[in-house]
């Protein structure tokens, strides 16, 4: 596990450097809201409201059974975060995790038709230069990495949905 590797690393900066605490549901809410808002606005720009409307529903669908029981057309976006490697820096001194973000979007139609599925992944390494120049905390560094990963997913997904 990467967090164990971080703790054993001589450049480890203490418990505030452990990434998992910055990737819980509370920290993800704002990132998820940005994606939901951007997608709602993008669809609204293409489709008149009386034809198609979108609204964000932050209530999670917890499992595949929940996804199969939708009663209205639903766009379900899920994501996972995996800490996959350790990066160290002498200046600024620190050891931080490289993170892989996996995203999956499904457009679910009631009645059991196969969903339209889009899968994307984004790999983020710590940006030590920005960390040093901006005098970031570990939380700021990981927030930047997560926000950038979500932004990259959004760009890939909107390009996929709105080709042209």
Residue 56, pLDDT score: 80
Q: Which tokens hold the place of 80?
A: 């996972």
Q: What is the DSSP string of 73-136?
A: -EEEEEEEEEEEEEEEEETTEEEEEEEEEEEEEEEE-TTTPPPEEEEEEEEE---HHHHHHTT-
Residue 73, pLDDT score: 85
Residue 68, pLDDT score: 63
Nearest CA-CA partner of 59 in 49, 50, 70: 70
Q: How many domains does the chain have?
A: 1
What is the model's pTM? 0.89
- What is the span of the domain harbouring residue 7? 2-161
CB contact at 8 A, 18 and 6: yes
pLDDT in tens, the chain (164 residues): 889 999 999 999 999 999 999 999 899 999 999 999 999 999 888 888 888 878 787 676 665 555 667 888 888 999 999 999 999 999 889 999 999 999 999 988 888 778 899 999 999 999 999 999 999 999 999 999 999 999 999 999 999 998 85
Provide the pairing of β-strand 74-90 with 116-124. Answer: unpaired
Q: At a CB cut-off of 8 Å and minimum separation 6, what does 68 contact?
A: 108, 112
Count CB neighbours of 69 within 10 A. Answer: 10
Nearest CA-CA partner of 111 in 72, 64, 156: 72
Instruction: In whole angstroms, give the CA distance from residue 100 to residue 92.
Output: 23
């Amino acid at each position: 596990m990467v967090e164990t590797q971080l703790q054993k690393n001589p450049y480890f900066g203490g418990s505030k450097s452990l990434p998992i605490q910055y990737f819980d549901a509370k920290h993800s809410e704002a990132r998820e809201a940005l994606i939901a808002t951007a997608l709602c606005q993008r669809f609204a720009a293409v489709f008149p409201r009386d034809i198609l409307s979108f609204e964000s529903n932050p209530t999670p669908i917890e499992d595949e059974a929940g996804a199969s029981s939708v009663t209205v057309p639903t766009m379900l976006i899920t994501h996972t975060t995996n800490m996959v490697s350790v990066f160290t820096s002498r200046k600024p001194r620190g050891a931080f995790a490289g993170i892989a973000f996996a995203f999956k979007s499904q457009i679910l139609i009631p009645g059991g038709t196969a969903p339209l599925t889009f899968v994307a992944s984004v790999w983020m390494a710590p940006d030590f230069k920005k960390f040093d120049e901006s005098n970031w905390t570990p939380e700021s560094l990981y927030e930047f990495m997560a926000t950038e990963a979500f932004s990259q997913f959004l760009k890939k997904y909107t390009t996929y949905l709105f080709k042209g």
